[in-house]
Amino acid sequence: MKNNFKQIDKVIMYSFNYEYKFIENVWSGSLANHLRDKFSMYCQKYNNSQTGFMYLYTSLSQDNRQMLINHILKTY
């Protein structure tokens, strides 16, 4: 249970402190470009990058969410 808390905490805290090119650090090519555009749209729509991050996260497929979580747990 304690390990789950730490992992969840890392993901949530990362959403407030992500690195500038987090999308390009996880994905590449046209998928990275697509996700960057989507993230920018969410940030502009909600005028808040943390909210934009959460909306991007919830819009990802399960495989892409797992890739992002693996990146967060490895780097944060």
Instruction: Give the pLDDT confidence of 18-75 residue by residue, as tens digits.
Output: 999 999 999 999 999 999 999 999 999 999 999 999 999 999 999 999 999 999 999 9
- In the predicted structure, residue 17 carries a pLDDT above the cut 90: yes
Domain boundaries, position 41: 30-76
- Structural domain tally of the chain? 1
pLDDT of residue 57: 97
pLDDT of residue 61: 98
Q: Is residue 42 part of a domain?
A: yes
pTM above 0.85, yes or no: yes
Q: Is residue 3 part of a domain?
A: no
Q: Is residue 46 part of a domain?
A: yes
Q: Is residue 11 part of a domain?
A: no
Block residue for tokens 């495989």: 63
Q: Is residue 67 part of a domain?
A: yes
Q: Is residue 5 part of a domain?
A: no
Q: Is residue 24 part of a domain?
A: no
Q: Is residue 20 part of a domain?
A: no
Q: What are the two backbone dihedrals, phi and then psi, of residue 19, each rounded to the nearest 5 degrees?
A: -75, 155
